[in-house]
Every structure is written in C-alpha cells, then in structure tokens.
Amino acid sequence: MINNEILITSEGLEELKNELEELKTVKRKQVSERIKTALAFGDISENSEYDEAKNEQAQVEIRISKLENMIKNAKVIEKNGQQDVVSVGCKVKVKDIEFDEIMVYTIVGSAEADPFKEKISNVSPLGKALIGKKKGDTIEVISPAGVAIKYEILSIND
C-alpha cells in the first residue's frame, strides 16, 4: 500500500486550511461572477473572457481538491525543544565551510518547503543529508551542478 502521508508543521497545516477556506469562500465567488459577466457578452463560442474564467475555475477546483487531499493526509510534526539530532521540524544552523557562510534552515515536509523562507524539504539533498546528524557533524551535499558542498552543523533548534 502506498503511504500518502504528508509531513507538515502545525503552522503549515494552518496555512493550508486558511488557503482552502479562502479558495472556497472568496475565490470561487469571484470566478463565478466573472463567468456570469462573460456570459452576458453573448455567444460563448468566441468569448475569450468566458474561456479564461472557466479555465480559472478549473484551476481553483484543482487546487481545492489538492489542498483537501493534503489536509486529509497530513501528519503534524511536533516541534521538540532542544534536540541532539536533526529531524523534521528542527531549525538547523549550518556553515558552508568553503565560503564561511552561515545559514539557518527549518526542515519541513515537501508540502511546506519554501527555500525563500528558509524552509527546506526533508527529501531535498541538503534536508536528507541533515536528517539524523548532530551538532558538530560535517556533511557533504552534491549540488545539482555536481559540486560537493561541505557544511558543518552549528546548532539544532537554537
């Protein structure tokens, strides 16, 4: 049996629920109004406004379905206080050894990953390399370009 479980933090789950509510209560109505307005233009066979509104409606319904499925299969990751080992839900401070650059990442499930917010997936190359490691450990991650990057784990959940 395939495991559809989606790892997510409680904050991430709340964001998904809020987005779902927004789509169901606001966006659906907006799209419905656009369809009504486009229908008022007459012949729908050559009505680009109608076609665009129907396409948007389809995208909204697809997203609603996807969100409902994600919420149904969500497994909330509890954030632990101080931890010795990196796991999903941890905030990890690492140092790029070559460039002496310090970065802080939160390890999250793939549904919640957002590199622009320093949230990396547990299945990303860096996320996978960090899972199970301890403060002081050095890891090596192969970048998409094939270059090995070495990181030192400075702290976990600080």
Considering 53, 76, 99, which residue would you say is the last residue of a domain? 76
| Spatial separation of the C-alpha atoms in residues 38 and 43, rounded to whole Å | 9
Please state, rounded to an integer, the average pLDDT across all residues of the chain. 88
In terms of Cβ atoms closer than 10 Å to its own Cβ (0-12, 13-18, 19+), residue 8 is buried
pTM above 0.75, yes or no: no
| pLDDT tens-place string over residues 23-53 | 999 999 999 999 898 888 777 777 788 889 9
Q: What SS3 class is residue 81? A: coil
**In CATH, what number is assigned to the domain containing residue 27?**
1.10.287.180
Note whether residue 68 is domain-resident.
yes
**In CATH, what number is assigned to the domain containing residue 104?**
3.10.50.30
Residues 65 and 89 in one domain: no
| pLDDT tens-place string over residues 46-80 | 778 888 999 999 999 999 999 999 999 998 887 66
**Phi-psi map region of 37: left, alpha, beta (phi>0 left; psi -120 to 50 alpha):** alpha
Residues 97 and 71 in one domain: no
Considering 42, 59, 76, which residue would you say is the last residue of a domain? 76
The angle formed by the CA atoms of residues 144, 146 and 150, to the nearest 5 degrees, is 95
Domain that holds residue 143: 81-156
Considering 76, 103, 124, which residue would you say is the last residue of a domain? 76
Q: At what angle do helices 28-39 and 48-72 cross, to 10 degrees?
A: 160
Task: Say if residue 81's pLDDT is above 60.
Answer: no
Q: pLDDT above 70 covers what percent of the chain?
A: 95
